[in-house]
């Protein structure tokens, strides 16, 4: 299969079998009092950074700033359902009311801090090429075909611009063990599975470093 055909087949797959979040767009503005929302987002920021820029603790806490609301909501639900395994985020998310979940999903979108940076700069050009052109020999479509030319994402496709490189390396390396863990209920993580699987360690490091500097 040619690389472009593969990309469009995958796109078609996400549109048909994608379980993203039916009706997300129609959700009413969440009815959560500002005081409650602020208290909750203050809590999120203790780990994800005061501007949602991410934080390096004993392990990397991902950037949430500028993230697509639909993607955020999908991930919170995936943590709750344990389709995405992470003990910290299960504890955080399973207590959220549906209205709070919706409010939190949109809250981080408007934040726009500078990327944290910190990635090695020796393979940024290789990373850019992978992002824009994919890896034809490994049947990896251009990342840009789904995550957007500027890596800002759209709807269920996450923003990757400015994401912590060490977080992305861990996610792409462990995709099979952490995402899509309820085999009876496949979700959007299936779209990324072959891509994460087919990238080499060096390619993952290069593309993650490149993305981590994008604003
Ligand atoms: C105690 C630390 C901690 C707190 C508090 C916390 N998070 Fe997290 N969060 C994490 C970690 C660690 C991860 C990465 C999980 C992984 O590696 O898969 C994460 C991941 C996420 C993700 C997935 C991001 C992505 O790019 O896929 C979302 C969304 C998220 N958190 C939202 C929230 C929200 C909203 C709150 C507040 C209600 C919150 N988090 C509070 C530690 C925390
Ligand atoms: C066919 C569409 C498609 C292509 C091509 C694609 N992705 Fe993705 N990617 C997705 C979707 C959809 C998700 C969200 C999956 C979910 O909701 O579980 C995702 C998630 C991710 C995540 C997790 C983000 C987070 O915050 O945890 C990373 C990292 C990622 N992609 C990197 C890449 C890279 C690097 C490439 C190119 C080598 C790429 N993707 C190509 C569709 C795609």
* CATH code (residue 26): 1.10.760.10
Tell me: pLDDT of 108 over 50. Answer: yes
Confidence category of residue 20, pLDDT binned at 50, 70, 90: very low
pLDDT of residue 17: 44
Minimum-distance ligand 2 atom for the alpha carbon of 207? 35
Tell me: pLDDT of 19 over 80. Answer: no
C-beta neighbour count of 113 within 10 angstroms = 16
Mean pLDDT estimate for the chain: 91
Best CA proximity match to 71, nearest among 189, 161, 205: 189
| Domain total in the chain | 1
Confidence category of residue 71, pLDDT binned at 50, 70, 90: very high
The pTM of the full predicted model, rounded to 2 decimals, is: 0.92
Tell me: pLDDT of 10 over 70. Answer: no
- Say how many Å lie between the CA of residue 39 and the centre of ligand 2: 31
Please choose from 37, 61, 102, 189 the residue to mutate so as to test ligand 1's pocket, defined by most ligand atoms within 8 A of CB.
Answer: 61
Considering only CA atoms, which residue is closest to atom 43 of ligand 1?
47
Tell me: pLDDT of 3 over 80. Answer: no
Best CA proximity match to 21, nearest among 61, 100, 79, 77: 77
Residue 54 structural domain = 3-212
Long-range (24+ apart) CB contacts under 8 A made by 99-102 are: 99/30, 99/31, 99/32, 100/30, 100/32, 100/36, 100/37, 100/40, 101/73, 101/76, 101/77, 102/27, 102/30, 102/73
* For residues 76-85, average pLDDT: 98
């Amino acid at each position: 299969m040619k690389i472009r055909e593969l990309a469009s087949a995958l796109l078609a797959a996400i549109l048909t079998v994608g379980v993203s979040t039916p009706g997300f767009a129609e959700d009413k503005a969440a009815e959560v009092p500002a005081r409650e929302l602020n208290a909750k987002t203050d809590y999120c920021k203790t780990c994800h950074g005061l501007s949602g820029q991410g934080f390096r603790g004993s392990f990397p806490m991902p950037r949430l700033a500028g993230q697509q609301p639909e993607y955020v909501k999908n991930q919170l639900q995936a943590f709750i359902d344990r389709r995405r395994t992470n003990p910290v985020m299960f504890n955080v998310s399973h207590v959220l009311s549906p209205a709070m979940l919706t409010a939190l999903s949109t809250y981080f979108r408007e934040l726009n801090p500078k990327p944290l940076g910190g990635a090695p700069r020796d393979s940024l050009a290789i990373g850019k090429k992978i992002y824009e052109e994919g890896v034809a020999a490994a049947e990896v479509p251009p990342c840009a075909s789904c995550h957007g030319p500027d890596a800002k994402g759209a709807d269920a496709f996450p923003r990757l611009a400015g994401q912590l490189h060490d977080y992305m390396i861990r996610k792409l390396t462990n995709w099979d063990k952490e995402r899509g863990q309820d085999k009876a209920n496949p979700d959007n993580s299936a779209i990324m599975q072959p891509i994460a699987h087919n990238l080499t360690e060096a390619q993952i490091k290069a593309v993650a470093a490149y993305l981590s500097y994008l604003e």
